[in-house]
A and B are shown apart, each in its own frame.
Chain A
């Protein structure tokens, strides 16, 4: 009976992959990729919750008795487009960081920040 929960396991697996990439990699673009994967896992979570056995796509048609839940679809539909827009914003930030710091590694940026702080405090 536990196998009936496999959709959640896939979601958790994907989510953890994304999470791992976010916390373990120093490269900012890699972090954004991780965030995207995390995001998709949430999408799949919603959509799989909205699914109904032997249900059909939520477009009214003759002779179809049972439909999937349309509400998660609506939420995720907008979330995908919003997600790409926000990802683009993040990428734009990364590009600017690269231009001003010359690097997109978290550690190097922190070191540079430390240096400038020391200089100003002296």
Chain B
């Protein structure tokens, strides 16, 4: 619960420290999605924690010793905000002074992210993609079991569905306001995506905001409706396409005689080439991040819904396995 506040607070930190882009990301990620995922997992695994069995003294001791040593180590660090710290001596001046001539993008963060360190970013996107695949393979429900379950639930659990409808009815104000808001959120995500060259923004942030809008839709109108609107296999395809787009920009620049991800050769004019390259890879990043976030959320929520249905159906009959697990839950 407090993770949300934590995310907001750390984002304000970053604002104070002049890191606009980072604050942007943290705002979108830390406040929204990370808290939601934690909550979803908590509702699936039970809220209570077992009482501690061993004394935390040893852990405290270890923590204090490590912390003391770390603080002792910081005594040699450069002062906060000092201008001549070693960090600022090597590549940063080049980025700050020359990026306007070399890349032609006012937002230095975007130019470093998209052009100077594009290879690094490619790796990050690949990691995100892999994590999405991991969640998909861990949490996606087996298809045929789900379909049979759906049939059963639709035929036998009519009371359940009516209850759900009632809940949607009760949130009518919410639904209508969200209906108004969601297009604005999507539009704003697009603005962030394409304005990233000039202000804070870019593919990562835009992807998260876009996904957040779709998650809002899924939360208010039910997962099944959202699944029908955003077909899951298409979303998986989009995740892959984003990464492929990114990599293929690099390959195209290879074919044009430059290095991998060297955008200068994409157009006759190097600056124009840089613009095209950054635009394309930001688009790729946005695709992948959006799709992966949606995949993660849909799988968590789908797994949760299935679990709830199972417990609702099994609890009156006191099925053996479920009873076991609920007993353990109560025991914790």
Task: Establish whether residues A8 and B71, one from each chain, have CB atoms under 8 Å apart when the complex forms.
Answer: yes
Q: Which of B36-69 contact A (CB under 8 A)?
A: 37-38, 40-42, 44-46, 49-50, 52-53, 56, 59-60, 62-64, 66-67
Residues from chain B with a CB closer than 8 A to the CB of A25 are: 49, 52
B19 close to A (CB within 8 Å): yes
A contact face: mostly helix, strand, loop, or mixed: helix
The answer on a CB contact under 8 Å between B80 and A57 is no
Q: Complex Cα distance A44/B324, Å?
A: 44
Interface string of A1-40 (1 = CB under 8 A from B): 1101111110011011001100111110110110011001
Task: Determine the distance from Cα of A37 to Cα of B38 in the docked complex, in whole angstroms.
Answer: 13
* A69:B92 contact, CB within 8 angstroms: yes
The answer to whether the Cβ of A115 comes within 8 Å of any Cβ in the partner chain is no
State whether B19 touches A68 (Cβ < 8 A). yes
- Given A58-B108, A59-B108, A88-B37: A81 and B3 interface contact (C-beta under 8 Å): no
Q: B74, A88: Cβ atoms under 8 Å?
A: no
Interface size on B, residues (CB 8 A): 92
Q: Is the CB of A104 within 8 A of B204?
A: no
Tell yes or no: B300 within 8 A of A by CB.
yes
Is the C-beta of B182 less than 8 angstroms from some C-beta in chain A? no
Indicate which residue in B10, B66, B81, B128 contacts A82 across the interface (CB closer than 8 Å). B128
The answer to whether B56 touches A105, judged by C-beta atoms less than 8 angstroms apart, is no
Task: Give the Cβ gap from B222 to chain A, nearest Cβ, in Å.
Answer: 21
Q: How many residues of A contact B (CB 8 A)?
A: 78
Of A53, A60, A92, which one neighbours B135 at CB under 8 angstroms?
Answer: A92
Tell me whether B53 and A56 are in contact (CB under 8 A): no
Partner of A60, one of B22, B100, B204: B100
Complex interface: chain A residues within 8 A of B64 (CB): 16
Query: What is the minimal beta-carbon distance from A5 to any residue of chain B, in angstroms?
Result: 5
Which of B18, B208, B328 touches A102 (beta carbons < 8 Å)?
Answer: B328
B296: min CB distance to chain A, Å: 5
Cβ–Cβ < 8 Å partners of A30 in chain B: 49
B257 in contact (CB, < 8 A)? no
Determine the chain A residues whose CB is within 8 A of the CB of B50 once the complex forms.
26-27, 105, 107-108
| Partner pick for A80 among B30, B60, B67, CB 8 A cutoff | B30
Instruction: Looking at the assembled complex, report how far the CB atom of A65 sits from the nearest CB atom of chain B, in whole angstroms.
Output: 10
The B interface, classified by DSSP as helix, strand, loop or mixed, is helix
The stretch from B117-125, B153-161, B184-192, B228-236 touching chain A is B117-125
Q: Is B173's beta carbon under 8 Å from chain A?
A: no
Q: In the complex the two chains form, what is the Cα distance from A2 to B77 in whole Å?
A: 11
- Residues from chain A with a CB closer than 8 A to the CB of B112 are 70-71, 74
Inter-subunit contact A51/B10 (CB<8 Å)? no
Which B residues from 189 to 236 make CB contacts under 8 A with A? 198-200, 202, 204, 207-208
* Interface-centre pick from B25, B77, B332 (highest chain A CB count, 10 A): B25
B56 adjacent to A24 (CB under 8 Å): yes
Q: How far is the CB of A109 from chain B (nearest CB, A)?
A: 11
Closest residue of A by beta carbon distance from B83? A52
Contact A12 B70 (CB under 8 A): yes
Q: In the complex, which residues of chain B have a beta carbon less than 8 angstroms from the beta carbon of A16?
A: 63-64, 66-67, 70
Contact A6 B14 (CB under 8 A): no
Cβ of B33 under 8 Å from chain A: yes
Q: Is the CB of B22 within 8 A of A58?
A: no
A58–B14 alpha-carbon span in the complex (Å)? 13
- B: residues with CB less than 8 A from A are 3, 6, 10, 13-14, 17-22, 25-26, 29-30, 33-34, 37-38, 40-42, 44-46, 49-50, 52-53, 56, 59-60, 62-64, 66-67, 70-71, 74-75, 77, 79-83, 85, 87-88, 91-92, 95-96, 99-100, 106-109, 112-113, 117, 120-121, 124, 127-128, 131-132, 134-135, 138-139, 198-200, 202, 204, 207-208, 289, 292-293, 296, 299-300, 303, 324-325, 328, 332
Interface residues in chain A, defined as those with a beta carbon under 8 Å from any beta carbon in chain B:
1-2, 4-9, 12-13, 15-16, 19-20, 23-27, 29-30, 32-33, 36-37, 40, 43-44, 47-53, 55-61, 66-74, 76-89, 91-96, 98, 102-105, 107-108
The 4 nearest A-B residue pairs measured at CB = A4-B79, A85-B131, A8-B74, A24-B59
